[in-house]
């Protein structure tokens, strides 16, 4: 009986260890990028830039050539399905929280390359690293 208990504990430990490894690998597929890295990606690849903030936030100022898909919109899941899963996607929001959540959803939906702007617009908007369109 003791032997069965030990074997069961070992199997549980191995299962937990394996699931943790899998989730680390999955998370590693979403790459946090700086504004400089984002510009390089845009120059080298045909990337889709997605602002996941609200329409109001987007209208106040956004990265040039980005499209707005509001993370909190009831049509969010349908809207991301319109993106090309084979092309890289660069996500951003105000501070990085919404875009991080969105990145996970995109990976789950089968997108191949997902990048997330580290720190969001708040971190980079006062630098000359991003090409912004600002409401005048």
Report the catalytic residues.
93
User: Cα angle vertex 100, ends 58, 61, to 5°?
Assistant: 15
Q: CA 106 to CA 128: how far, in whole Å?
A: 29
> Per-residue DSSP letters for 102-119?
HHHHHHHTT-S-EEEETT
Q: CA 9 to CA 23: how far, in whole Å?
A: 21
User: Measured in Å, how far apart are the chain's first and last C-alpha atoms?
Assistant: 76
Burial class (CB in 10 A: 0-12, 13-18, 19+), 20: exposed
Token digits of residue 27? 């998370």
């Amino acid at each position: 009986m003791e032997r069965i208990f030990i074997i069961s504990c070992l199997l549980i430990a191995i299962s937990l260890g394996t699931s943790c490894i899998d989730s680390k690998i999955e998370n590693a597929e979403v790459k946090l990028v700086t504004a400089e890295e984002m510009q390089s990606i845009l120059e080298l690849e045909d990337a889709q830039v997605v602002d996941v903030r609200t329409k109001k936030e987007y209208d106040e100022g956004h990265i040039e050539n980005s499209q707005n898909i509001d993370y909190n919109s009831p049509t969010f899941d349908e809207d991301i399905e319109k993106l090309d899963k084979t092309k890289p996607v660069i996500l951003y929001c105000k501070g990085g929280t919404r875009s991080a959540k969105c990145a996970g959803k995109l990976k789950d939906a089968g997108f191949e390359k997902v990048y997330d702007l580290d720190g969001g617009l708040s971190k980079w908007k006062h630098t000359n690293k991003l090409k912004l369109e600002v409401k005048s």
